[in-house]
Amino acid sequence: MGWLYPYGFTKFLAEQMLSRHQGEVHLGIVRPSIVESTLCDPYPGWIQNYRMADPTLINNGKGHIHDFPGCSDTALDLVPVNSVANAILAVAAYIGSRIEKCTVNHVATSGSTPLMMELFHDLLKNYFTVNPMLDKSGAPIAIPDWV
């Protein structure tokens, strides 16, 4: 049906249902890219639980990831949760002052501050080199270069 995976398709169905049955209520749909840890509060990098890209980051630190799909010059679109929260507040204020009843808003970073895959790998490698995860014997785990 043109959808690569059920998650995106079900989000589309929910948005269609909301927009068709919203009545007189103004609706603002916020579509963030990959939501990740905080940019600032409560402190930079804070995240609760491991979701989205976090398992990839941790498994890289454990030396389990030897390659990653994507070209070195491909942008990886991660957006801090603070930015998503700010966007939701901005959309709420915006739709309250507009005539149109439904707005769709994308929250992403690669258009203005792209994180290229090569830099992403270098940052991960540098971080886990300085702050290595340890194996069962307590030895630092070496981080492999991605293919």
d(CA 91, CA 86): 9
Position 34 scores a pLDDT of: 87
Query: Tens digit of pLDDT for each residue in 77-103?
Result: 888 899 999 999 999 888 877 777 778
Which residues, including other chains, have CB under 8 Å from residue 44's CB and lie 6 or more apart? 37, 38
Local structure of 107: helix, strand or coil:
strand
Which is catalytic among the residues 7, 50, 94, 125? 7
User: Any idea what DSSP says for residue 93?
Assistant: H
Reply yes or no on whether 50 is catalytic: no
Reply yes or no on whether 7 is catalytic: yes
Position 30 scores a pLDDT of: 92
d(CA 69, CA 147): 9
Give the mean pLDDT of the chain.
86
pLDDT, greater one: 31 or 97 = 31
d(CA 115, CA 131): 21
Query: Tens digit of pLDDT for each residue in 34-75?
Result: 888 888 888 888 877 777 777 888 888 898 888 877 888 989
Residue 147: CB atoms within 10 Å: 6
Position 42 scores a pLDDT of: 86
pTM, full prediction: 0.75
Position 5 scores a pLDDT of: 86
